[in-house]
Amino acid sequence: MNIYLILATGIGALFLLWILLYFIPVGLWFTAFVSGVRISLIQLVLMRWRKVPPQIIVRSLITATKAGIALKRDDLEAHFLAGGRVQQVVNALISADKANMNLNFKTATAIDLAGRDVLEAVQMSVNPKVIDTKRVTAVAKDGIQLIAIARVTVRANIQQLVGGAGEETVLARVGEGIVSSIGSAHSHKAVLENPDSISRVVLDKGLDSGTAFEILSIDIADIDIGKNIGAVLQMDQANADKNIAQAKAEERRAMAVATEQEMKAKAQEARANVIQAEAEIPKAIAESFRSGNLGIMDYQRYKNIIADTKMRESIAEDPGTEDRGEKK
């Protein structure tokens, strides 16, 4: 019985010691003490209650102190509670200090809370980054299409990382500048001979204004010849004019056909009127006989005149034409 009691007492003592060491991190306090960081055990215990990991704060303080950067515990705790990355900020401050960059704790925490990687920004400021644009298509004044790819070397602007535009804005502005520069060229040959003229024109526009970067250089990595846009537009215009001309010609043809049909109808109407008039002749002759205005001899002379007329018409016809027609 005594053995079980001693064993239970020992386990309880170990459990109490673990709880005591968890809430009172003596080992962490000793590490900070020998590293030159002055922090009390009470503050370490209160960090537990404030839901702040003491290891992150203490190790960040030790790293900053060894690098010669003075930071306050309250500032680190406040940044952690605000959702910031304490170790990332401390590493960025050390990198900036070694590179002789003017970066203070307030600016670094603002950049971190803005969602940007402050350490990456410092590294990009020391070691510039190269960004390749997409294929930018533009047309010179002579109608020749050019396709260019630019290589933009940028450096992070620490002071404008908060509120400054990102890489997409820089690339969009560079693409716009390339299109404007090529479009103002009188000939595509001039652009191909001096592609650096594009870089000079684009750089002079200050495209990095209001962005989180500073443009160091813009180099044309590749430039190709595309379509002859002027010729394509002229062909399209010619096709459009041809279609319009064809439509107008078809309209005129349709009107001519309609006029022809109208004339045929009028001719048929005239023939009908002639036939109708000729049908009145026998009636008039009969009426003349009844009224005594026409005699038998007069009628015979009328018939002779008609017969002579038909004979003359038959003699006037070319018999050779009829023979050739029969042979055919």
Please say which residue of 194, 209, 230 terminates a domain. 230
Please say which residue of 175, 200, 230 terminates a domain. 230
Pairing relationship of beta strands 129-132 and 136-139 according to DSSP bridges: unpaired
Same domain? 121 vs 146: no
Residue 237 in any domain: the answer is: no
Same domain? 122 vs 6: yes
Same domain? 78 vs 8: yes
The SS3 assignment for 5 reads: helix
| Residue-by-residue DSSP string for 31-52 | HHHHTT----HHHHHHHHHTT-
Same domain? 111 vs 11: yes
Radius of gyration (C-alpha) of the chain in whole angstroms? 53
Amino acid at 262: E
216 CB burial (10 A radius; 0-12, 13-18, 19+)? middle
Residue 287 in any domain: the answer is: no
For residue 159, the 8-state DSSP code is G
Same domain? 137 vs 220: yes
| Residue-by-residue DSSP string for 81-145 | HTT--HHHHHHHHHHHHHTT----HHHHHHHHHTT--HHHHHHHHHS-EEEE---EEEE-TTSEE
Same domain? 96 vs 151: no
Residue 274 in any domain: the answer is: no
Same domain? 102 vs 137: no
* Packed helices 54-66 and 73-81: angle between N→C axes, nearest 10 degrees: 130
Same domain? 93 vs 153: no
Are 180 and 141 spatial neighbours (Cβ–Cβ below 8 Å)? no
Residue numbers of the domain that contains 177: 129-230
**Residue-level pLDDT at 328:** 44
Residue 68 φ/ψ region, left for φ over 0, alpha for ψ in the -120 to 50 degree band, beta for the rest: left
**Residue-level pLDDT at 90:** 92
Residue 28 in any domain: the answer is: yes
Q: Which residue has the tokens 């459990």?
A: 15
**Residue-level pLDDT at 22:** 59
Same domain? 222 vs 142: yes
254-263 confidence digits (pLDDT tens) = 999 998 898 9
Backbone angles phi, psi at 69, to 5 degrees: -110, 125
Residue 251 in any domain: the answer is: no
- Measure Cα distances from 3 to 10, 14, 121 in Å: 11, 17, 64
Residue 166 in any domain: the answer is: yes
User: Can you tell me the distance from the alpha carbon of 116 to that of 123, in angstroms, rounded to the nearest whole number?
Assistant: 13
Residues with pLDDT less than 70, the chain: 1-2, 4-24, 317-328
Same domain? 139 vs 106: no
Q: What is the CATH number of the domain that holds 144?
A: 3.30.479.30
For residue 212, the 8-state DSSP code is S
Split into its structural domains, the chain has a count of: 3
Same domain? 62 vs 178: no
Please say which residue of 230, 252, 281 terminates a domain. 230
- Measure Cα distances from 88 to 113, 126, 326 in Å: 11, 17, 114
11 CB burial (10 A radius; 0-12, 13-18, 19+)? exposed
Residue 283 in any domain: the answer is: no
Neighbours of 248 (CB within 10 A): 10
Residue 259 in any domain: the answer is: no
Q: Which of 143, 229, 140 is nearest to 181 (CA)?
A: 140
Same domain? 95 vs 119: yes
* Packed helices 54-66 and 86-98: angle between N→C axes, nearest 10 degrees: 10
Are 87 and 60 spatial neighbours (Cβ–Cβ below 8 Å)? yes
Four-residue CA torsion sign, 110, 111, 112, 115:
positive
